Amino acid sequence: MTERRVALVAGAGFYVGPDLARVLAARGHDLVLGDPPADLVAELESQGAAVEVVTGVRDLAVPGAAQRLVEAGVARFGRIDSATAFTGLIVTGRFTNSSVDDYRSVIEGCMIAPYEFLKAALVPMIEQQGGQVLVITSASAARATPGAPLYSSARAGATHLVRNVAHEVARHGIQVNAVGTNFMDFPEFRRASGADDPAVRAKLEAQVPLGRLGTMEEFAHFCAPYVDGTSRFTTGQFTAYAGGWA
């Protein structure tokens, strides 16, 4: 058992995972990390964090992946105080050009994966009568998104799942929230949007009221209060993190 808080970060090798792990380590957490790079683990351990590494769990839609993460954390530390996951695959294109197979793939990544994650993460939290869960979805869940209708609708479904789950488990002292991003400076978004082309990036940034793409470092600091134990009176909420776009 440990007296330090224990935070689980699924997907610690991509998107906000590495930066969020750094923030939580700096705030005195031990960590359960899914597929982190070795240099990140060494960095976090040098800061005094105990780190449990679980590999082969990046795709949380795969049955058992999320459960492996949670079980490894409980076996190592005896509890999990918070759990964060980013799921989904950015899929673009017009609805009229799409197929039902396209939609099935989007549902798998954007809804099945958070379902599996929530089911697994809540088990020890219900037993210990407390915990925090953050599911990172998409700001496209909050408004119609031309060029990504399948993705936007699936993200909205995941966000509403979070709201419903939060209502169900609040009596156990568990917080469940969602944060949705858009216009973030990371490889998958740049690939899907063409933002590695300076001209395309300029057009994208013109759509953002703040006039730029968001960074992973600042997003990690935004996520931290949802999972670091400092803010315990918010649940069932969705917040868009998109520079004022949503």
Count of domains for the chain: 1
Does residue 235 belong to any structural domain of this protein?
Answer: yes
Does residue 1 belong to any structural domain of this protein?
Answer: no
Which of 31, 43, 41, 34 has its CA nearest to residue 7?
Answer: 31
E strands, 13-102, where? 30-34, 51-54, 82-86
pLDDT-derived band at 72 (thresholds 50, 70, 90) equals very high
Structure tokens at 93: 């294109």
Does residue 204 belong to any structural domain of this protein?
Answer: yes
The arithmetic mean of pLDDT across residues 36-60, rounded, is 97
Structure tokens at 92: 């673009």
The arithmetic mean of pLDDT across residues 109-134, rounded, is 97
pLDDT digits (tens, 9 = 90+) for 156-172: 999 999 999 999 999 99
What is the rounded average pLDDT for all residues in the chain? 95
How many other C-beta atoms lie within 10 A of the C-beta of residue 143? 13
Which of 84, 51, 246 has its CA nearest to residue 175?
Answer: 84
> Domain residues for 71?
6-241
Does residue 222 belong to any structural domain of this protein?
Answer: yes
CA distance 145 to 181: 13
Question: What CATH number did the domain enclosing 158 receive?
Answer: 3.40.50.720
Which of 28, 5, 238, 212 has its CA nearest to residue 135?
Answer: 238
Does residue 88 belong to any structural domain of this protein?
Answer: yes
The arithmetic mean of pLDDT across residues 7-27, rounded, is 97
CA distance 204 to 122: 38
Does residue 41 belong to any structural domain of this protein?
Answer: yes
Which of 246, 241, 245, 200 has its CA nearest to residue 86?
Answer: 241
pLDDT-derived band at 29 (thresholds 50, 70, 90) equals very high
Cα separation values, 230 from 14, 81, 123, 136, 225, Å? 25, 12, 22, 19, 6
